[in-house]
Amino acid sequence: MALQTLIGKRIPVLDQGWVELQDLMGDDLAIVNAARVSFLGESRGEERDKRLLFYLMEHRHTSPFEQVEFKFRVRAPLVTWWQWVRHRTWSFNAQSGRYVPFDEDAFYIPAVWRKQSPSNKQASLGELTPEEGKPFTEALLQHYAQSYALYRRALEAGIAREQARLFLPGFAVYYTWVAKVDAHNLMHFLQLRMAEDAQFEIRVYAQAIYEHFFKPALPWTAEAFEQFVLKAGTR
């Protein structure tokens, strides 16, 4: 796939979210060339180049993978964003509620309600049935409507946006931000956030990035990543 066809591609995530690739620097060969810098970065043919890349991945020679960078534009609820920013190797610039008012429908509505895991304090296990979950969805929608009405009322009264947003339901609000990361640190993010025990609201974003952007942009790296990192972690 021509890398330029990935630029501007947007993948829907959750009910209102998405991930868009804004920019991309480098490819598999850029990683190989970085490892061969003493040879002026000359390719030695596809077979030998790919073999070197797999060697780098298997033996955790990570610095050449930092030569590739991805820049994304992301729309996600704060419950996702709150976990994402823990990965401090990323560079972020986020929408600010101090400058831009929030839209009425800018709140996350889960498709299902998950049950608390009895053995893991920070995880869920199982789901409520649609019938069991319906009153909670209805209550959540009512809560959003009331919160947004108070937010608009505060704005119309002349209260500053930075204070009016206190009326909004914090973890549910959708934000848009730009996020940049190199391929090495992106793989660390993907390893953790695509795992089965990762929270659903960030796992779906990690999966979208991996399937729709990382694998098409770096097919050799993705193949090696699956063989030496993802599959190795399940043994």
- 193 belongs to the catalytic site: yes
Q: What does the alpha-carbon distance between residue 159 and residue 183 come to, in Å, rounded to a whole number?
A: 43
Nearest to 143 by CA among 117, 164, 169, 123: 169
How is residue 194 annotated by DSSP? S
Exactly one of 75, 165, 193, 203 is catalytic; name it. 193
Q: What does the alpha-carbon distance between residue 40 and residue 37 come to, in Å, rounded to a whole number?
A: 5
Contacts of 133 (CB under 8 A, 6+ apart): 112, 113, 127
Query: Contact, 165 vs 97, CB < 8 A?
Result: yes
Burial of 31 (0-12, 13-18, 19+ CB in 10 A): buried
Dig out the tokens for 154 from the structure.
């505060």
Q: What does the alpha-carbon distance between residue 34 and residue 45 come to, in Å, rounded to a whole number?
A: 15
Q: Give the ranges where 13-129 is alpha helix by DSSP (H).
A: 28-35, 46-58, 78-84
Query: Which residue numbers are catalytic?
Result: 193
